[in-house]
């Protein structure tokens, strides 16, 4: 239980990102990635509750988006998410995405939070992402693996239905440049893109550098 977890001190957070650290050797910005990971993640920490994190954000007047991802298909988890959102929704901008579509809709109905369709192209094949489904669904945004940008008709439908687009997980200059390349091709083909496009990453410090350099973000 959490009382037991609270006593655990994680001695090296970098171990959690071991897979990312190893994969970084494959990328042109390998040296920069490893430096950031070592400097920012090699430290002792404890496992915080979501409530503690949200209190910290409120105290620091955080105005950005917070995206909660429901990791398990259980009613207990859903109920806790609903309680959490309802406690902080007047102070923080909280969104939810998950693979559990019925749970998402229930969370939206009971909190008013924006919900997203989380999709990687393989999981939850009971729902097929198509332009028709996008047109008929009640989602506020779509959260897709960046490689799925190749599904151009779906991206057009997301744009036409005025939905925001979140792309994950962009963890290197390779992912970043390919994402921009595909977005440019889509714009050339359809002459429009979703008004708001967000990048989800494990290394925001580095990705933000690229965005500023290309004058895409300020």
pLDDT digits (tens, 9 = 90+) for 156-181: 999 999 999 999 999 888 899 999 99
Predicted pLDDT of residue 40: 66
Long-range contacts of 133-136 (CB under 8 A, 24+ apart): 134/158, 134/161, 134/163, 135/160, 135/161
Residue among 85, 102, 81 at smallest CA distance from 94: 85
How high is the pLDDT of residue 171?
A: 84
Residue ranges for the chain with pLDDT beneath 70: 11-21, 23-26, 40-45, 123-125, 217-218
What is the three-class DSSP state of 16? helix
Q: Give the three-class secondary structure for 93.
A: strand
pLDDT of residue 86: 98
DSSP label at residue 6: T
State the pLDDT at residue 202. Answer: 80
Q: How far apart are CA 69 and CA 73, in angstroms?
A: 11
- 94 backbone dihedrals φ, ψ, rounded to 5°: -105, 130
Q: Which residues contact 102 (CB under 8 A, 6 or more apart)?
A: none
Quote the CA–CA distance of 132 and 154 in Å, as a whole number: 9
This prediction has a pTM of: 0.85
Please state, in angstroms and rounded to a whole number, the distance separating the CA atoms of residues 138 and 175.
Answer: 29
């Amino acid at each position: 239980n959490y009382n037991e977890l609270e006593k655990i001190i994680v001695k090296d957070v970098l171990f959690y990102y071991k897979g990312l650290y190893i994969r970084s050797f494959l990328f042109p910005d390998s040296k920069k990635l490893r430096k950031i990971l070592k400097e920012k993640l090699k430290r002792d920490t404890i496992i915080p509750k979501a409530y503690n994190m949200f209190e910290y954000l409120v105290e620091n007047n955080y105005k950005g988006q917070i995206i909660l991802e429901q990791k398990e298909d259980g009613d207990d988890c859903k109920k806790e998410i609903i309680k959490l959102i309802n406690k902080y929704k007047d102070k923080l901008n909280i969104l939810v995405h998950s693979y559990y579509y019925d749970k998402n809709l229930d969370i939206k109905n009971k909190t008013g939070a924006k919900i997203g369709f989380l999709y990687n192209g393989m999981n939850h094949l009971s729902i097929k992402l198509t332009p028709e489904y996008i047109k008929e669904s009640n989602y506020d945004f779509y959260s897709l693996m960046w490689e799925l940008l190749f599904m151009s008709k779906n991206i057009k439908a997301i744009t036409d239905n005025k939905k925001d687009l979140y792309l994950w997980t962009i963890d290197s200059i390779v992912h970043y440049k390919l994402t921009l390349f595909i977005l440019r091709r889509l714009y050339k083909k359809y002459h429009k893109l979703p008004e708001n496009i967000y990048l989800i990453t494990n290394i925001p410090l580095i990705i933000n550098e690229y965005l500023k350099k290309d004058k895409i973000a300020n």
